[in-house]
Amino acid sequence: MAGNSSNITQYRNGYGLYPKPLLAHNGSMHRYNAQAVWYVGDSDHESFLNAPVGIPAITLTNSPDRYIHSNLDDLFQIDRTQLGRNAVAAALMAYTMATADGAAFPILAAEVVGRGEQRLGLNVKIALQLLAAASDRAAGYDDAVNQVRYAVERERRAIRSLGEIDASARGRVPALLAELDRRATQAERELLQSYQQLAGSGQPPERKLRPAELELASLRPVVTGTPLEFLLHHEEIEEPAGTNGYLAREILAAIDGKRTGLDLHRMAAAEVHEAGTHYYGTISPEAVLELLKSVEKLKLFRLKP
């Protein structure tokens, strides 16, 4: 991405249009406007996400595409440069994962932990902003703590995945997790200090749950549908009015038999704060409850008490 997105400073190094260009002879010379985004569906990778075991999957998608699903949706409309860049990105990801071994652990751990610090730092900033902007300081503090805990859990999963490289890598993971826990404790301490300064009081009162939140907390959804049933019935899922369809699918993809309905709502709310309402809109406990009850009717999930 960086190599195919020039900026004015690079010209001072004596480079031409791009320092490491990947340009097709009959393709465009546009910068590589690539970005990693949150959950998306409507592509072949979604079948893996919908599998009962929840196979991790990503898609490389060109968007917006003015020709897709039109009479001009043909090979001659493909940007050869963009196709080449995406092919290189996919090939390098596959090669890196396929050849990873114990010797690669330090490099991969540096990437995962370093990027994780950036992501966690962003969420600490969001948490402090939620607290500063809240008219109800106690509710703001609750949202802020949830934001950090959501981010920490994501980084915990990322670090644990390093242990899957090979047998020698597993023993190195606990130290990284311990450091993450130390950072998480420090972040929550910062939030408490900020709350005390803003509210002028000690410990925040326990937040009272709304009726929908109480009901969500009493449910632990589990996957019951087979991959075939998901393929046959996923189009019948009724998303609550005003709820982003992709966010609704991500909530369902996060069902693992361990998270409660309230956990799912808090995860979604934290992700909305991180991605932005321009990306995901908003999500309420009532909407999550309505979504879960609708998919139970399709017998794809069961809401265990």
The answer to whether residue 166 sits within a structural domain is yes
- Indicate whether 82 and 125 sit together in one domain: no
**Same domain, residue pair 80 and 145:** no
Confidence at residue 9, expressed as pLDDT on a 0 to 100 scale: 79
pLDDT band at 286 (very low <50, low <70, confident <90, very high): very high
68 belongs to a structural domain: no
pLDDT at 3: 80
Work out how many domains the chain is built from and give that number: 3
| Per-residue pLDDT tens over the stretch 193-243 | 999 999 998 889 988 999 999 999 999 999 998 888 888 888 898 899 999
Is 30 contained in some domain?
Answer: yes
Residue-range definition of the domain harbouring residue 183: 102-199
Q: Is the confidence at residue 16, as pLDDT, over 70?
A: no
Inside any domain, residue 96: no
Last residue of a domain, one of 156, 175, 199: 199
Residue 27 lies in a domain: yes
In this structure, are 80 and 116 located in the same domain? no
**137 shares a domain with 81:** no
Residues 83 and 146 in one domain: no
Last residue of a domain, one of 90, 125, 152: 90
Judge if 118 and 194 occupy the same domain.
yes
Contact between residue 212 and residue 285 where contact means Cβ atoms under 8 Å apart: yes
What is the pLDDT, as a whole number, of residue 164?
92
Residues 140 and 217 in one domain: no
Q: Judge whether residue 33 has pLDDT over 90.
A: no
Range of lowest pLDDT (86-95, 176-185, 284-293): 86-95
Same domain, 258 and 187: no
Residue 249 and residue 223 share a domain: yes
Residue 66 lies in a domain: no
Q: In this model, does residue 17 exceed pLDDT 80?
A: no
- Stretch 104-129: mean pLDDT, rounded? 96
Residue 50: inside a domain? no
- In the chain, pLDDT over 90 holds for what percent of residues? 68
